[in-house]
Amino acid sequence: MSKMDRSTITIGIDLGTTNSSVAVNVNGKIEIIKKPGGVGYTSSVFGFNKTGNKIVGQKAYEYLYKYGSKNEDKNFKAEIKRLMGTPETVFFERAKTKMTPEEISSEILKELKEDILRKYPDFDTTAAVITIPAAFSVLQSEATKKAGNLAGFKHVVLLQEPIAAAVSYGFQNAKNENWLIYDFGGGTFDIALISSKDGILSVLGHNGDNFLGGKNIDWDIVDTIIVPKILEKHQLTNFTRKNTKYQNIFSHLKYSAELAKIELSQYDKTTIEIEDIGKDDSGEEISFSIDISRSELEKLIKPTIDRTIELTKDTLKESGMKTESVKKLILVGGPTQMS
């Protein structure tokens, strides 16, 4: 593929808290770039393996969660999007180096860029559109742009995630309509009220919470359902997430909780099987099996969902828009599949 005309940007990236993905415009056709095996996303996890090599994506995710240990907790980082725009750094023990959220995010973006070039070696990666939550501050937005630059994208254009979702559903072709975009992602929640009038697209109001997402549901499952079940059978002193002694065990539990959540978005019940994750105070291996129903999960997450509804009502109220004036409600993000 020859170098493309830069009059339009032909790369679009969703840099997500949980997963990230990239799409390209190839001769007018939009294509989501898939990884070997046909997966259309990259886990937003970065770290260093035992040989000191950088690892991004599913393998990094498995090191941290599925096969988590104290060593891996110190060498892999997930959900870096939640630290964007802050002065915090992450220390990676194996590499003996500190990295900023922008630097870690740039490694994820580099992986996405490599996915493009693996399929289209001559594709022009000079510029990219990167989506951000509507609730991102100026500092968070600038940090995202910097991450793109560090990844080798000379020109970075930021696009609010609700707007990107609306456009993907054909909003640009809507005539004199109001849409409500309910974007409940892995780490952030956004609600946006957008309007199309006389061919002009405008945001009438938006709201959100950068620390409200599917990850919160995972931890709700761990803290409210799984941990009490473990403590029924095993004696563990001060068995909480804050206790670093159990950090690797909680990594495993979060992995299992996420799998259960995904299954319950499609089925009425599922079973969590836990074994070989560590020992209790008496030296006995921690193992158990627990059945979870969809109705249990729905009851558990009600406060979280109520919070998103609150923000939605606030957005409508602040815009002065009545509910009946909204033509469409667009649900975006993995957790919305439970609806």
- 244-280: per-residue pLDDT in tens? 889 889 989 999 999 999 999 889 999 999 888 889 9
Q: Say if residue 202 is in the same domain as residue 315.
A: yes
Residue 37, Ramachandran bin (φ over 0: left; ψ between -120 and 50: alpha; else beta): left
Q: Which of 184-193, 294-303, 328-337 has the highest mean pLDDT?
A: 294-303
Containing domain of residue 46, as a range? 11-161
196 pLDDT band, cuts 50/70/90, is confident
What's the gap between Cα 34 and its chain centre?
A: 17
The tokens for 199 are 């061919």
Closest CA to 42 of 64, 14, 80, 7: 14
The tokens for 330 are 């667009």
Provide the number of structural domains found in the chain. 2
d(C-alpha 295, C-alpha 269), whole Å: 8
pLDDT of residue 339: 63
Residue 3 falls within a domain, yes or no? no
Residue 167 falls within a domain, yes or no? no
Contact between residue 107 and residue 54 where contact means Cβ atoms under 8 Å apart: yes
- 166-175 contacts, C-beta under 8 A, 24 or more apart: 166/192, 166/194, 166/330, 169/328, 169/330, 171/196, 171/201, 172/196, 172/201, 174/327
Q: Say if residue 81 is in the same domain as residue 215.
A: no
Boundary residue ending a domain (113, 134, 161): 161
- 61-86: per-residue pLDDT in tens? 999 988 766 678 889 999 999 999 99
- pTM, two decimals, is 0.85
Give the CATH number for residue 274: 3.90.640.10
pLDDT of residue 167: 84
Q: Say if residue 86 is in the same domain as residue 123.
A: yes
